[in-house]
């Protein structure tokens, strides 16, 4: 045990006035200056020169059961002492910084053994359950020819949730390598979430009935789904070869999966305009193919200057639209063939249909108006062309009633003396049919209000 020491000796050993050290602790403190010392307190006299300074000597003098250590060296000049004091202040500051740095930092020698580490490195060793901090807690093997090596490594056990990932930057230094580790758990989790998201998107794209073709900034195909094979009948080998956009459309033309332009050469020249429109989210076209199918082609901008095209088979929708339009045209033609003036109002009281006799009777064409015509506007127009009658409010209430209704009729007389029979009948879906027929039989006209 240390029994006595001068003030300078305690500065060298970094111990307080009342602190007692063992020989092992003293040897550890002196080893950086004088090299390896015996593990057991020596019993023979010896003189050891300092590493790199042969004029500074450590004299070991046994004295019975005691051992005296004496340090002898040349006196330091004033400038050297002042410089040393400044360096000590800076060293103290650097030690405080290293002790509070949240990033693990350590240094290894040429044999890859740890010779120094900060407090965060000690914490990392503790989390890795390393009994000796001379072993690196992260598995990194920088190549000897590399001045800077960047790698990723994990510490802890994956199963118990203590695993953490680090990005380690290793720099070559004269004494070995200096390593800086930065925790990248957030990055690892984000990358895992991105992979899961891409896998989810891939599964969705695989079952998506809309064909998808994504081209990168060089206009080469980088992504497509199985629906593209089904809708375009393009070979999988061709699509897997990452064709450019021009070759892609050439193959579509060859397979007759696009309308034949009048001048294909000029259409190819205008392909740049198509790409520009798709990049601006403005490209939408409908292709009627020779096979009778109808495709809707939509261009969408893709990140990094790419472009994506969506191919949707709308043949059933187009067929249904055409059939629906044909039914509307037939219904309109039937209404126009009637002698009675007919108007159909929706459940909300909006005029849906009317025939030519209605337009002639009331001298009004609803199709020429941009705004919707409701039952209130229609009855106001009818009332202005007829003699006073109490049925207008009843017509409005009947048209806007949502419950069960029963048809009814009433007589009207226009200002020019024509008598009309007004018939209100409920239709399915809450609609209402109002019909005006010429009244040929004498009848009573409702009293004026």
- Check if the beta carbon of residue 360 is closer than 8 Å to that of residue 344: no
Burial class of residue 224 in the structure, from the number of CB atoms within 10 Å of its CB (0-12 exposed, 13-18 middle, 19+ buried): buried
Put simply, whether the predicted model's pTM sits higher than 0.95 gets the answer no
Where is 9: in which H helix or E strand?
helix 7-13
Q: What is the pLDDT of residue 331?
A: 81
Rounded Cα–Cα distance for residues 296 and 352 (Å): 30
Q: What is the pLDDT of residue 443?
A: 47
Which pLDDT does position 179 carry in this prediction? Answer: 93
Give the pLDDT band of residue 159 (cuts 50, 70, 90). low
Structure confidence by residue, pLDDT tens digits, 267-283: 777 777 777 777 777 78
* Predicted pLDDT at 449: 39
448 band by pLDDT with thresholds 50, 70 and 90: very low
Tell me how far the alpha carbon of residue 282 is from its chain's centroid. Answer: 23
Q: Are 165 and 152 in contact (CB under 8 A)?
A: yes
Rounded Cα gap, residues 215 and 302, in angstroms: 8
**Cβ(127)–Cβ(103) below 8 Å:** no
Closest by Cα among 434, 431, 436 to 350? 431
Distance CA 179, CA 231 (A): 56
All structural domains of the chain: 7-74 (no CATH), 102-186 (3.30.450.20), 208-313 (3.30.450.20), 332-438 (3.30.450.20)
pLDDT band at 157 (very low <50, low <70, confident <90, very high): low
- The confidence score (pLDDT) of residue 441 equals 56
pLDDT of 444 higher than 50: no
pLDDT tens per residue, range 318-352: 888 888 888 888 888 888 888 899 999 999 999 98
Tell me: pLDDT of 289 over 70: yes
pLDDT digits (tens, 9 = 90+) for 356-411: 999 999 888 887 777 889 999 999 999 999 999 989 999 999 999 888 889 999 99
Task: Classify the C-alpha dihedral 434-438-443-446 as positive or negative.
Answer: positive
User: Of 174, 180, 101, which is closest to residue 140 (Cα–Cα)?
Assistant: 180
């Amino acid at each position: 045990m240390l029994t006595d020491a001068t003030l300078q000796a305690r500065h060298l050993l970094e111990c307080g006035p009342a602190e007692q050290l063992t020989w092992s602790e003293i040897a550890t403190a002196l080893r950086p200056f004088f090299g390896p010392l015996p593990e057991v307190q020596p019993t023979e006299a010896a003189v050891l020169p300092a590493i790199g300074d042969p004029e500074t000597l450590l004299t070991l003098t046994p004295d019975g059961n005691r051992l005296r250590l004496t340090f002898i060296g040349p006196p330091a000049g004033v400038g050297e002492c002042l410089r040393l004091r400044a360096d000590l202040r800076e060293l103290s500051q650097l030690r405080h910084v290293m002790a509070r740095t949240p990033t693990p930092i350590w240094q290894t020698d040429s044999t890859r053994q740890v010779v120094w580490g900060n407090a965060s490195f000690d914490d990392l060793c503790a989390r890795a359950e390393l009994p000796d901090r001379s072993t690196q807690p992260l598995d990194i093997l920088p190549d000897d020819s590399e001045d800077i090596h960047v790698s990723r490594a994990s510490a802890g056990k994956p199963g118990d949730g203590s695993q953490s990932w680090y990005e380690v930057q290793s720099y070559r230094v004269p004494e070995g390598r200096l390593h800086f580790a930065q925790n990248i758990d957030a990055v690892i989790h984000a990358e895992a979430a991105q992979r899961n998201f891409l896998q989810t998107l891939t599964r969705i794209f695989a079952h998506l009935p809309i064909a998808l073709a994504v081209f990168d900034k060089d206009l080469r195909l980088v992504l497509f789904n199985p629906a593209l094979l089904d809708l375009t009948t393009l070979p999988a080998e061709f699509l897997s070869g990452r064709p450019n956009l021009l070759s892609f459309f050439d193959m579509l033309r060859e397979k007759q999966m696009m309308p034949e332009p009048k001048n294909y050469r000029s259409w190819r020249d205008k392909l740049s305009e198509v790409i520009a429109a798709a990049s601006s989210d403005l490209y939408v076209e409908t292709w009627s193919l020779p096979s009778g199918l109808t495709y809707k082609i939509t261009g969408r901008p893709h990140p990094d200057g790419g472009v994506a095209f969506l191919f949707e088979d709308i043949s059933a929708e187009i067929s249904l639209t055409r059939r629906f339009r044909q039914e509307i045209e037939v219904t309109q033609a039937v209404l126009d063939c009637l002698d009675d003036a007919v108007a159909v109002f929706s459940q909300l009281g909006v005029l849906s249909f009317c025939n030519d006799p209605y337009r002639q009777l009331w001298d009004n064409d609803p199709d020429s108006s941009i705004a919707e015509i409701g039952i209130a506007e229609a009855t106001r127009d009818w009332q202005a062309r007829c003699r006073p009658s109490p049925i207008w409010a009843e017509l409005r209430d009947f048209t806007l009633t949502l419950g069960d209704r029963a048809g009814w009729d009433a007589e009207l007389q226009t200002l020019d003396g024509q008598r009309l029979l007004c018939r209100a009948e409920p239709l399915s879906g809450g609609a209402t049919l109002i019909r005006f027929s010429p009244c040929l039989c004498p009848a009573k006209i409702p009293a004026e209000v």
